[in-house]
Structures are given as C-alpha cells and as structure tokens.
Structure 1
C-alpha cells in the first residue's frame, strides 16, 4: 500500500501495462532513484485483475547472497516446502498451472543469478509473466526493455511541492517560488529520490539556501526516510550503489565522461577518454555497458547518435576524476577535441555541408561553452581561448549568438592583455590569432549597433595588421569598417571601404562567406546611394557563387538585397517570393540579423499588397526580435526607411487603435510562429518546406506601442515607395 502520493507517469504507466500484457518479460531500467520500483508497483497493481493467481513482489535488492535468490522468491510467494528439495523445484511444482505476475525488484547486483532464474521460470511456466526493475537489463531472450526517464518538469515540481508540504505544512507552489522550484528540479535532473531528499531539507533550509548549496549535492541531499532501502537513504549512496556495481574500467570511463557538458558523440569520447589504461578501441564496449546500466543514455540528434549523462551522475564522476588527479588533463583533451572540431566546422562552413555544420554546432554548443570556459579562464596559454572564440565566428554571426560571441571574445582579449601572445612579424604567427579575434569583436559590435566599440576595435585591428603585415587582417578590418559605415548611413564611405577590402581579398585569391557577405553589403550601399542596377548585378553574382559552392547563409543576404530591389522597382510579389526564400534559409540557420531584416521587408511587401493588418503583425514580431540583435534597424535611417514607410501606410489603412493592436499581437508571437506566418504567401498557400530550429532570442518584453522610435528618413521612404 502506497504511503505517499504518486505523481505523473500516466503515459509511462499506460505503455508499461501494454508491454506487460504483450510480452512475458518486461524490464524497467533507469538510473538510481528515478522511480523504477514505484512505477512497476503501480503498474502491477493496475494489472492484478488480469492474473487469477495474483501479483507477487520479490524485493531482490534485500538479498545480497546470490545463493539465496531462489529462497527469496519462494518466501515472497509464501510457499512452504519442508521436503528439503531445491527451491527452484518447489517453484516449478507449485506454479506449474498458475497464472500470475512476478515483480522482481532491484536485481542489478545479482544480474547473472536473476537472469538464470527468470529464464528457467519462463521456459517452464507458461502462465508466468515477469516485470523486473533494475539499472541494467537481464539480457535474456524475449526481454522487452522499458527505459524510465526522470520526471518531466511539471510532474517534478508537483512531486517536490507535495513532499515539501509534508515537512513544512502550508508550503505551496506560487509566483514567489515558482522559478526557484523549477531551477531546483532542473538541477536535480527530475530524479524523484533527489527531489524527495531536497524536500526533506526544507525542515532546516530555505529554497534559496538549498539552491546555493546544490554544487555539493551529495553532502546536501541526505536523510531519507527510515523505511527507505539503505541505498536510497542519501543521494550519494544511491549513486554510489551504481558505482559499486561497475567494473574498474566502467568506473574509469564514468569519471572521464564527466568532463563533457551536455551530450557527446562516440568519436569525442574515444579521443578524450582514452589512454594507456583504456585504449580508444575499447571505449565503445565500455560505453555500451554504461548505457546498459542506465548511467549514460543514448539519444538521436540532428547531427547523429549522441550520449548524455545526467548532471547528478556527472557530478559523481567528476568527484572521482578529481580524486585521481586527472581533471586538468582530461579538460585539456576536451579542449583539444573541440578546437579540432571547430577548425573542421569553419573549413566546411563554405561548402555544401554548411547546414550539417550548423546542426553540429547546435548539438555541440554545451561542450563548446565548456571548452571556451577552460580555454579563456584556466588555460596556461591565452592563444587557445583567442583561437576558439575567433574561429567560431560562423556560430556567433551565422547561428544567432551575437551577444554570447561578444562575451567570449571580450573575455579572451582581456585575458590576452594581461598575458600577451608573442607577435608574428609575417602575419602568420600568434598575432594573427589575436587580430582575428579583435576584428571579429569589432564586427559583432557593428551588428549590435555599438558604433563606438566597433570603431575602436576595428581601428586597433587595422593598425596592428598593418604593422605586422597581416594582409588578411587588413582586408577583414576594412571590410567590417565598410559595414560600420553602411549602418552609420555613410554610404559613400561604405562603398569605398567595401570595394577596397574586396579588391584585397581578390589579390589574396580568397573567396569565402566573408567575401560574399561583403559583396552584398556593397550592393546595399550602392542601392542606398541610388545605383540599383549595380546592386542587383552584385547580388545576382553572389547568388551564382553561392550555388556553385553550396553556400546558403550568404545566399540569404543576397536574396534580401534582391528582394529590396524588387520592391523598390514596384514588384511586391516578386520581392515577397525572394524574401520568403531568404527567410526560410536564415531562420533555419538561426541567423537573427537576416531573419529580422526579412521580417521587416516582408511587412512592407504585405502593406503593398493591401494586407495592412498582417504588415503590422509582422512589425510587432520583428520588434520582439530586435533586442536580441541590438539596436533596432542598427539606428540607420536607410535600414529604417522600409519600416517607417510600412508603418505610415499601415496606420493610415487601419487607424491608430487597430494598428497598435496588430503590433501587440505580433509581439506576442513566438519567433518560430512569426517566421512560419511570414513564410506563407499572401494568398494563404503553404509555407516553404523545411523545419525551423528554435531561434535564440531574449524573453519578450511588454511591447511598446511604437517599438521603433525615430522617423527615419521620410524623404527616402517616399522615394522608395514611388
């Protein structure tokens, strides 16, 4: 009989009951404390009507002598036999014509004996079904595995609240503690045992105090109930029970895998975790054993098969890794692997594998952060941090992480100022690493609309590049200064700088995403200056180059330029088609800059097609995205002109109140919904095919009724509207 409330697991219970009805042997697997016993007991209770001879529980965890396992089953079934026969014989005789469900709970420490017994019983007793629970499978024919995951967030919060109210009467989940409870449940991986132990700590600690102490969760989470199994009295003993059941090589790999943050792939584990005591070719077999014991989970990600360890298990592994004195060596190997991965990704970015690179970077981002953290803050050589942060330009710019990119670049450059790298006089030495990071930091400031910071960084980069003779850094600095002039509305200066930079790249024989984007920026400068035909020719040239090299990211910007030109020429339908094609690409890459620019232009297309309300909705959606990019429309009158023209027309068509209502509706849309809506043609037809990754945006603030203050250039707005 259950003494505490059961929370959640409705879908798991439905599926488990179905499996027990379908298969003769079902094994519920999962990490320690995840709730295997409780779920199996609940499912068995709900199935008892199907078994005329009952449902019987065998607590295998209480038996430590392998030779007593069969006796434990006999005792659990309340069988008596004074003949002196072997217990297996007694079981076979008494159960020969019975129809029952045997629940074998917690067999993992007696897996071989349990497997042998269950195999024999099922072979000889046709009316028997077995529901087993353990941290690993029994591994016999006909076994149906049922992996049990930790509780989902809502159920975890309900469980914690219920158990907390038992020790602190009156405790409820409300606005004042909702975020703290959610944080606690997340950090404890939704493991029911950990949540129950945490709730018990509320006798003496507040929620904030407990959250502060969770870094040492094993010291904090103790004091389980007296009737709990010994290995469930504390979180340390629960996890330690699994550790004791591992072989020495499994414990070694467990400890070494703790250096990974989030999920990892097999190749990474083989490189980072191998050594003389664990050759790379043996890592797969040992990893498979950790997966079998529910210490590591396998998952299918867009970039392929990956593996993950719960934070609680990772923390336990990190404790043992530190005890061996190998933490720093493993973190260096982790840094080296991800540095190599980043280098490969950058090379493949300008290729038909660009989408694959974007997916891989998304899947690996937690590990990239961990590598950056070590390289920037703890590494003996500051070049590692500079190289990683600078080489990841395609992640910061192309995959929508501009603010985070600035964060890492600023930290890496600040570290280098106190521990400078040695200069390389030919531009190919260590100074090139610093200049690349410095130039990129300047460009990210450009995209954020931070002109002062951008100008300082780019001028410093140019001066040092000229002093060291680094031609690539000179070209890059000039290119990004041209982008800065463009958003600063100095289109003549932008044309001069961008043209000069592109000539330098041509002399170097370089063609890459930077060069193609620079050509689009030059095209925009020409268009803003009135030379629309040259602008169109440049964008068409970029589109052809992109098709030849399999480059999609820069293609989206070329499509934006062509869409802008088509609208300016009075072809809104053609402009809409070009912009929707570009938006599908940019949103797929999570590129916030291109995405929000496309939304702004598609709003203008909508109002030109007499869809004023839809235009206002798209303006509101764009307003939600801009804070995650930087200054709305870069603070530029040229970039702001389409927005101002769209707003003028939509207000006139809708009236003030209806316009503001539509803007608020757009601001309330999630970015993904807004993009999907914008991708639908004006006739309501289907959007272009392809899934969208979640866009990494800041939480939406309360929408301002006029999200883009400033009138822009009204004269220019009238010009392009004609």
Structure 2
C-alpha cells in the first residue's frame, strides 16, 4: 500500500531519510528455522534470484520476510521491498502491482516494465515477490528482464513452484521439526492463554498434535487457537476424529497437502453453521475488507446483517480471519489458503455468483460515494480508502468486464474512479481499465439509456487520462466520440465534459485561443446544468492558464482566487494546488518572489501528498526559476536537474509546449549565465540523482531562508509569450508590466 495521506502534517516530506523499503514489522515471535535463515542470507551473497518453495501453510512468506530482514545492508542499500501478488488475479496487472509496491508513480504511456527497469537500473535493492504461483507466466519473464537490466537487484520469490529461470536457486522449505512446532504452538497458545507453557501435563499431547499436523505452521497455529475451548488432550482426540472423517480427496496429492487441507477442514468442522457460512462468503473479497463491506455483502439468507460482527469476532478468535490496522482504519483479511478453502465451500453451495454480484454492487456504491466525497475536506481519507480497496475494486471491475451484459457497469465504475486515476497518480492503471471497458460494447454504443450514459462517462475520462499521459491522438478520438454521442442522445453533462477536456487538450498543445473558447463554453454549460465539483474548478484553473499565457494575468488571478475560495469553503485541496500554481506564476511575473515561493511550497506539498507528479514537477520547475531570480543559480540548477528526472514519468517534458516551457528556459538561461555551462551541467546532474522524495524535500527545505521581497521591474523576466524572450504579460485595466 502506498504511504498514507496526512492532511494534518503537510510538511512531513521535509525531514527524514527516504523509506528503506516496505517490509512489515513482525507482530509476534518468529520461532525456529535459525539454520535455514542463515543459509538463505548466505545464499543471497552470490545468488541474485532465490525462490523459496514449499507446501501451502509451511510458512514460506513469514520465513522469507524474517530472513531478508537479516541480509547485510550493503546488499540492500536501497531497501527491501515486498510485493504481495496473492490478490492479483489478472496477469496483466503484475507489472502495475510492482510499480505500486515500489511506490512509483508514472503518468506516461510507457509500459510499466520500462518504468520498473528505469527505476531499478542503478539501485542496490532486494525485491520479495510473494504469492506468485498463479501468475507465474507473467511473473517469470518480468523477473528475468529486471535482473538483466538491473545488476544491483536481488529477487527472493516466494511460491509453491519455481519460476524456472536461468540462475534461479531453489530453496525448498520443509515443515518445522516437531520440537520447533511444539515451541510455536506454545508461543501462540500463551498469547491466547497467559501462563500457558509446555509441561509434563501437556507436553506429550502437544507433541502428538504437532506430529500429526506434520509441523505445518499454519495448521499448528489453527490448532493452538482452539485452546480457547479445548485442552491439548481434547485437541488430540478431536484431531484424530477429524482425520478419519476428512480422509481422502485427490489420491495423488502430497501427504503434506492432505494434512493442511485436513487441518483447515478440521477447523472448519469445529465452526458453527453461521461461522462456516460467513467464512465461505468472506472468500469473495480480494485482499483486505472492512466490517461495513462484510455486513452488506455477507448478511442475509441465513445470517442476519446485525449478526455478522459477532460471527466475525469468533472467526478472528480462531485465526481464520486476521485483523490489521491501516491508513483506512481497522481492516480484516484471510490467508490465501484459508480463503481458497472458503471459496470451494461457497462454490459447492452454488452461491458464488450471487456473492460476486453483491461484492460488485458494494464496490460500485463505494466508488460512487468516494467520487462525491472527493469534493470535500475528506479528499485525503478518500484517497487512502481507495488505496486500501484497490484489490477489491479490481475484482469488481474484472467481474463487470468478463460477465456477459455487465460491460456498462464496468464503464461506469472505471469512469467513476476518474478522481483516483487522475488525482492520485494512477493514470496507467486507469488507462488499462478504461481502454478495456470502451472496447467491449462498441456495437452497442448508440443505444440510449444506461449503456450510453456509462459509456459516455468512460469516454471523457479516457480522454482526460490520455491527455495527462501526453497521448493526444487517442484522447481526441475518445473525446470526439463522446461529444458526438452526447449531442445525438441529448446528454448535456457528457457534452460539457467532452467540451471541457477538448479545451484541456488544446491548452497543452499550445492552441490558446481555442483552449480559451472551449473552456469558457464548458464552464457556461456546467453553470447551466448546476454542476460543481473538482472537475469544474479544474476547468476554471485551466481557463486561467490559457488567459495567463495570452498575457491577461488580471483575469487569471481573479479566476484562481475564486477557485481558491471555493476550495477553502469545501475543503478541497487537489484542485486548489493547481490554482496556487497559477497564482504563483502571476506573483513571479509581478516580481513578488516571496509570495510566489510561499504559494509554490503549498502547491508542492499537496501534489506530493496526492502522488500527483504533474502538479509536483510544475511546482519544482517554477521554484527553480524563483530561486534563480533570488540569486541562487546553483540551487536552481539542482532543482532543474531534479525536475528533469521526474518528467519522464509524467510524459513529454513541459508537454512540449512553448508556453509551459518559458519558466524552464528563463531559469536555465540565467543560471548558465551565472554559473557557466560546465558548472550548471554538474549541478543539474546532482539534481538528477535525487529520488522523488529527496527532490521534494530539497525544494521545500529552501523555504526557511530570507527571500528577496521584490525584484525591480527592469530586472524582472517576462512571464508569457510562446518562446518570445521579449514578450511581456499585461494587466487589463490600465496597468502594464514592462
């Protein structure tokens, strides 16, 4: 999961070193396997690909996480990063999941594999790929390519089978010896029953339980959880009964697999009817879930909604469900093996499709609520919530796009998440779902009603995402189709959005008169239909950019001050950041460098917190220019180098726009004049070596020093013009700048 958004601590990026990885801290004691840990750590000194294999429930994930934490620092200078692939059901999302786990953000049309290669190429990093076996065909070639491109990369893969790659070293993990399994049993039992310890009264029974469970950690922990109700002697007796009862299954399955299935089946049999029912229904979730989702999806038909909490509590007590804290609050999950067992039971009673529909309905409702709540003071909470729910939203999208007759719902869901794709640095994944959704029902595109409405929304969102990726041709095609169909079906909302986003396309391709015309038209349409949200306000900011680039800073400032006030009234921060950028641009043009810097710092903090690389890099570019005019050309060169490293993950640097390039060109020209070419290039390379977090912290760290309050007009650079050094912005109403 990406870092949580913290609106109460806007300057948290200023201090502290970059994150050393995302390896979770251990919550309970790791028992046994000291020799295996030492062997794995030693093997990583020479092997760059090591695959930990073993039966389900043998403890592969926990062992790998514990062992890699002991790897010497010189082999993991850039951290240990764990990627959980167990919730990824579509092979094409493996690369997106790695990008997400490494906390990368890329707005471009570059394939995710290229983003990963570029990021890892010069890093000394340890990557743990956990639960890859069901997507091995996608995972294996990706690992091969990454290892070839990044000599400092080491990979520990964790799964039930090897990747079968050259250079792969296999590390089969055996079950625990009986003595270690008994120690694990005692440790977990003591957590439930303080004072429990192995003694002459229970030692024989505990050892026998562990022996019969073949020392599988998952089975041992499930058995230990039963001490709430049973003694070790009773455990042994009931385990014996359940072995006989559940014996059988696939004849050629490994005994260890049969043992684990028996252990889980035994735990299942000891559950009440309602506990078994909830266990099966919870298997529909992908990854984490919260109580409200469980109550809505799993309640009814034999399990009243108000009973779900009590039954869930019992499943927690039996270690069937795990409770976790997250940025989105208290959440729950099931181990994949436990979830798969429940899914088989759900399928056996013929309730899988109904549960998947209810799951889809809940997450469509959640996305709808979050879209509405995005335009509020809860933007950060909304972003964190969608981050936490992404595996379930993916499952809902996949259901819609694979079930006959559900394509329009997939289009609605993919379009409704526009705020997440555009506002939280998820453009590449958003493009994936939007492209798939609009391709499904082209033959039905002309139908009226819900098909047309959902498709039109997906089209304008697709156009918007493609614009932000710098992909103009498909953006224009999607927006033109949306425009034509909206006119034909008399859909004023979709028509307003199509006009708006076409104006945005004109803005980034330097057609300022057309951009101004279309954006004014769109804003008038929004007013007519009563539309007010972050999109509408962004249209007003984009209009301000268009008129500012044409020299009218007075109207640009008025437009953005209005946006700023509306954002303050509603608690909206994402659009506010872009309004602050335009106001900073105007302050720079007016020579008020202190105000420009203050506005840009706030803009930068917001963009960084929302993972919005476009807003971030625009702010860094303009901060570099402000820094130059303040007299620190060396620091400006570093910031320009940092911005240069960020742009490839956004798209075409400065959109290839003459208007957006003015601050960059003015900064570089002045800094090179002050420093000389060699020194400028050296400092720019220093900036290029900064990571994203380091670059933002560096830019913000300069805000504490004294600033030049004003720059004399004669020394002030011009702010507008399309690659015209002599052009000057004007203010309407009689005041001119010169």
Q: Structures share a fold, TM > 0.5?
A: yes
Helix, strand or coil at the partner of 2:331: strand
Go from structure 1 to structure 2 and tell me whether the alpha carbon gap of 1:567 and 1:183 turns closer, same or farther (over 3 Å shift).
Answer: same
Alpha-carbon distance, 1:380 to partner = 3.2
- The residue that corresponds to 1:229 in the other structure is 211
Alpha-carbon distance, 1:238 to partner = 3.1
Runs of 5+ in structure 2 lacking a partner? 1-22, 38-56, 72-120, 135-154, 179-209, 217-254, 707-720, 730-736
- The residue that corresponds to 1:153 in the other structure is 65
- The residue that corresponds to 1:652 in the other structure is 673
2:129 matches 1:183: yes
2:349 matches 1:330: no
Runs of 5+ in structure 1 lacking a partner? 1-8, 17-27, 29-34, 43-133, 136-146, 160-174, 189-194, 215-219, 686-711
Number of residue-to-residue matches in the alignment? 530
Alignment of 1:305-704 (within 5 A): 305-378=330-403, 380-417=405-442, 420=445, 422-424=447-449, 429-683=450-704
User: How many Å separate the matches in 1 of 2:604 and 2:334?
Assistant: 36
- The residue that corresponds to 1:60 in the other structure is none
2:196 matches 1:284: no
User: How many Å separate the matches in 2 of 1:461 and 1:11?
Assistant: 48
Alpha-carbon distance, 1:362 to partner = 1.7
2:325 matches 1:300: yes
User: How many Å separate the matches in 2 of 1:293 and 1:483?
Assistant: 55
Go from structure 1 to structure 2 and tell me whether the alpha carbon gap of 1:504 and 1:201 turns closer, same or farther (over 3 Å shift).
Answer: closer
Go from structure 1 to structure 2 and tell me whether the alpha carbon gap of 1:197 and 1:431 turns closer, same or farther (over 3 Å shift).
Answer: closer
- Please list the CA deviations of residues 611-641 of structure 1 after superposition, one character each: whole Å capped at 9, or x if unmatched: 2232223223323332332222122111122
| C-alpha contact 1:157 1:181 (8 A) present in aligned 2 | no
- The residue that corresponds to 1:715 in the other structure is 724
Go from structure 1 to structure 2 and tell me whether the alpha carbon gap of 1:223 and 1:358 turns closer, same or farther (over 3 Å shift).
Answer: closer
Helix, strand or coil at the partner of 2:62: coil
| C-alpha contact 1:382 1:419 (8 A) present in aligned 2 | no
- The residue that corresponds to 1:245 in the other structure is 267
User: How many Å separate the matches in 2 of 1:198 and 1:235?
Assistant: 17
Relative contact order (alpha carbons < 8 A, sep ≥ 6): 1 or 2 greater?
Answer: 2
User: How many Å separate the matches in 2 of 1:361 and 1:662?
Assistant: 39
| C-alpha contact 1:645 1:718 (8 A) present in aligned 2 | no
Go from structure 1 to structure 2 and tell me whether the alpha carbon gap of 1:320 and 1:653 turns closer, same or farther (over 3 Å shift).
Answer: farther
Alpha-carbon distance, 1:261 to partner = 1.9
- Please list the CA deviations of residues 37-92 of structure 1 after superposition, one character each: whole Å capped at 9, or x if unmatched: 669xx9xxxxxxxxxxxxxxxxxxxxxxxxxxxxxxxxxxxxxxxxxxxxxxxxxx
Go from structure 1 to structure 2 and tell me whether the alpha carbon gap of 1:268 and 1:532 turns closer, same or farther (over 3 Å shift).
Answer: same
Alpha-carbon distance, 1:576 to partner = 0.8
User: How many Å separate the matches in 2 of 1:666 and 1:37?
Assistant: 46
Alpha-carbon distance, 1:274 to partner = 2.4
What is the TM-score normalised by the length of structure 1?
Answer: 0.66
Go from structure 1 to structure 2 and tell me whether the alpha carbon gap of 1:463 and 1:565 turns closer, same or farther (over 3 Å shift).
Answer: same
User: How many Å separate the matches in 2 of 1:441 and 1:201?
Assistant: 38
Go from structure 1 to structure 2 and tell me whether the alpha carbon gap of 1:181 and 1:361 turns closer, same or farther (over 3 Å shift).
Answer: closer
Helix, strand or coil at the partner of 2:457: helix
What is the TM-score normalised by the length of structure 2?
Answer: 0.65
User: How many Å separate the matches in 2 of 1:495 and 1:430?
Assistant: 32
Go from structure 1 to structure 2 and tell me whether the alpha carbon gap of 1:717 and 1:514 turns closer, same or farther (over 3 Å shift).
Answer: farther
User: How many Å separate the matches in 1 of 2:383 and 2:504?
Assistant: 24
User: How many Å separate the matches in 2 of 1:199 and 1:265?
Assistant: 27
User: How many Å separate the matches in 2 of 1:504 and 1:275?
Assistant: 45
Taking only aligned residues, the RMSD between alpha carbons, in angstroms, comes to 3.9
| C-alpha contact 1:560 1:582 (8 A) present in aligned 2 | yes
User: How many Å separate the matches in 2 of 1:498 and 1:566?
Assistant: 23
- Please list the CA deviations of residues 627-679 of structure 1 after superposition, one character each: whole Å capped at 9, or x if unmatched: 33222212211112212222222333333343333333333333222222222
User: How many Å separate the matches in 1 of 2:663 and 2:324?
Assistant: 45
Alpha-carbon distance, 1:245 to partner = 1.9
Go from structure 1 to structure 2 and tell me whether the alpha carbon gap of 1:467 and 1:660 turns closer, same or farther (over 3 Å shift).
Answer: same
Runs of 4+ in 1 over 4 A off after TM superposition: 9-12, 35-39, 156-159, 178-181, 184-188, 195-202, 207-211, 220-228, 418-421, 716-722
| C-alpha contact 1:239 1:313 (8 A) present in aligned 2 | no
Larger mean CA deviation between 609-618 and 457-466 belongs to: 609-618
Highest Rg: 1 or 2? 1
Go from structure 1 to structure 2 and tell me whether the alpha carbon gap of 1:617 and 1:259 turns closer, same or farther (over 3 Å shift).
Answer: farther
Alpha-carbon distance, 1:489 to partner = 0.6
User: How many Å separate the matches in 2 of 1:633 and 1:411?
Assistant: 29
Alpha-carbon distance, 1:490 to partner = 0.8
User: How many Å separate the matches in 1 of 2:682 and 2:261?
Assistant: 54
